[in-house]
Amino acid sequence: MHGQVSGTTEVVQGDVLDPASLTPAFEGVETAYYFVHSMGDDRDFEAQDKLAAENFAKAATHAGVRRIVYLGGLGNPDEKLSKHLRSRQETGNILRAHHPQVIEFRASIVIGSGSVSFEMIRALVERLPIMICPRWVRVKAQPIAVEDLLAYLLAAAERPISASQIYEIGGPDRVSYGQIMQEYAQQRGLTRWMIPVPLLTPYLSSLWLGLVTPLYARIGRKLVESLRNPTLVSNNLAESVFAVRPRSVRDAIARALVNEDREFAETHWSDALSSAGQSQSWGGDRYGSRLVDSRTITVTVPPEKAFAPIRRIGGRTGWYYGNWLWSLRGFLDLLVGGVGVRRGRRHPDTLRVGDPLDFWRVELIEPNQRLRLRAEMKLPGRAWLEFEVTPCEQGSTIRQTAIFDPVGLAGLLYWYGIYPLHQFVFAGMLRNLARAAEKWD
């Protein structure tokens, strides 16, 4: 349905399996992008893909859409392709059969947050210090950074063509899945041992993958069967007609990690999490590689009074709950060469970006609104503690959020090992912060 508008973007609801619902979605559209696939469906995803593509192309043609841009998958059609890759290429054929102008990009692994292939690689590397590697781990691919892929997709809207065209796109590196894993591990500071075995078939690999990365099990079991097929660019047509020059695998992974940091730092938890304010699962919520434990409390004072005890946290004021536990954590940090809690804070009542605060450092402060601290203690990962105050009908809402970016299995074990303590300490801290705010003069 129409009506959800933000800036220059209007959101329209449509269902590619319901042709009638697509008519309003194509009103006023000149270029339509098709990113639909049905691998997450329990039914026959190939049949669903065919029906969805046919409905989409017919509706676009009927509405007078000038061009369809489709993202498919690389793979030599003369070889025996997996169901996944075969369906990706058949989808392109169906779109071309029902629309006169289709630009199809065929890509291999997309390096970036949200890409299923990349997220599976990330999950395997983060969780498994030793990996039993079947033959498909040595199969070659030609990954492309998500930013370079987007550049191709945007350029396709303006590319002057009069008929359909297929472009194969990829970065400059032809690498195995194992090499991608090792590059990711190196950039995350992890050591990973990979043991090749000849007997682990794609099917058995998919079952194993479901145990290690259950979040991607349904799609992963279908996707892993396609890993036996090399996904390499066989011609340079895209390079000759587009100005995009894709970056290397190393740069693509580095850029993906930087982008995740930036996007995560800009997240406001009052918007990103439920209004109930509590984490939705034991162990917190997961956002990409990060684990998040967030909670809220309402106080009957304005934001400036609600924020007052927050800006005094640490140092001689303490942490409002379980100070002896915070001191013990600082002592343990000293034993392993960390900073401990001996630094205190620069000023008892004011904070600025860059200030040390016990074994934290102030990364962001917005007066009477937001304080984010970055941990400087020794950890198997990176950690932040954030406080956000927002006005509400009763007065103010205080949100307290612990964020952890675990590095490897040690990081995951650390987080889940101390999570019960988080429930105890952080709940008490938030409760006492609220009491201090109510009493603030």
pLDDT at 199: 66
Place of tokens 């892993």: 224
Reported as a single tens digit per residue, the pLDDT across 131-151 is 878 777 888 999 999 999 999
Q: Which residue has the higher pLDDT, 211 or 117?
A: 117
Distance from C-alpha of 416 to C-alpha of 122, rounded to nearest angstrom: 19
**Residue among 269, 350, 368, 265 nearest 313 (CA):** 350
Reported as a single tens digit per residue, the pLDDT across 391-405 is 999 999 999 999 999
Three-class HEC string of 266-320: CCCHHHHCCCCCCCCCCCCEEECCEEEEEEEEEECCCHHHHHHHHHCCECCCECC
Q: Which residue has the higher pLDDT, 150 or 2?
A: 150
Nearest 5°: the CA angle 374, 425, 214 is: 75
pLDDT at 263: 75
Give the residues across from 345 on adjacent strands. Answer: 357
Q: Which residues of 245-274 are buried (b: 16+ CB within 10 A; e: fewer)?
A: ebbebebbbbbbbeebeeebeebebbeebe
Q: Say yes or no to pLDDT of 275 above 80.
A: no
Place of tokens 């005094």: 312
**Residue among 242, 267, 259, 262 nearest 145 (CA):** 259
In CATH, the number for domain 269-439 is 3.30.530.20
Across 423-435, average pLDDT: 93
Domain topology for 4-262: Rossmann fold (3.40.50)
pLDDT at 250: 96
pLDDT range class, residue 3, cuts 50, 70, 90: very low
What H or E segment, with its residue span, contains residue 329? Answer: helix 323-335
Q: Say yes or no to pLDDT of 348 above 50.
A: yes
Q: Say yes or no to pLDDT of 207 above 80.
A: no
Please, which residues have CB within 8 angstroms of residue 354's CB and are 6 or more apart in sequence?
361, 362
Q: Which residue has the higher pLDDT, 180 or 76?
A: 180
Helices 146-156 and 249-265 meet at what angle, rounded to 10? 90
3-state helix, strand, coil in the chain (%, to 5): 40, 20, 35
Give the residues across from 194 on adjacent strands. Answer: 131
What end-to-end distance do the CA atoms of the chain give, in Å? 50
pLDDT at 330: 83
pLDDT at 276: 42
Across 22-44, average pLDDT: 82
- Quote the percentage of the chain above a pLDDT of 70: 86
pLDDT at 277: 45
Q: Say yes or no to pLDDT of 217 above 60.
A: no
Q: Token pair of 64, please?
A: 């007078």
Q: Say yes or no to pLDDT of 279 above 80.
A: no
Q: Which amino acid is at 7?
A: G
Reported as a single tens digit per residue, the pLDDT across 161-178 is 889 999 999 999 999 989
Nearest 5°: the CA angle 399, 344, 314 is: 25
Q: Say yes or no to pLDDT of 336 above 80.
A: no
pLDDT range class, residue 338, cuts 50, 70, 90: confident
Give the residues across from 373 on adjacent strands. Answer: 362, 385
Output the average pLDDT for the chain. 85
**Residue among 115, 372, 350 nearest 269 (CA):** 372
The 10 Å Cβ neighbour count of residue 176 is 16
pLDDT at 1: 36
Distance from C-alpha of 398 to C-alpha of 387, rounded to nearest angstrom: 7
Q: Say yes or no to pLDDT of 215 above 60.
A: no
- Give the chain's largest Cα–Cα span: 77
Reported as a single tens digit per residue, the pLDDT across 34-66 is 999 876 555 677 889 999 999 999 999 999 999
Distance from C-alpha of 98 to C-alpha of 53, rounded to nearest angstrom: 9
Name the most confidently modeled range: 15-29, 195-209, 279-293. 15-29
Q: Token pair of 17, please?
A: 């399996």
Q: Say yes or no to pLDDT of 79 above 60.
A: yes
Please, which residues have CB within 8 angstroms of residue 240's CB and are 6 or more apart in sequence?
none
The ranges assigned to domains in the chain are 4-262, 269-439
Note whether 4-262 and 269-439 share their fold. no
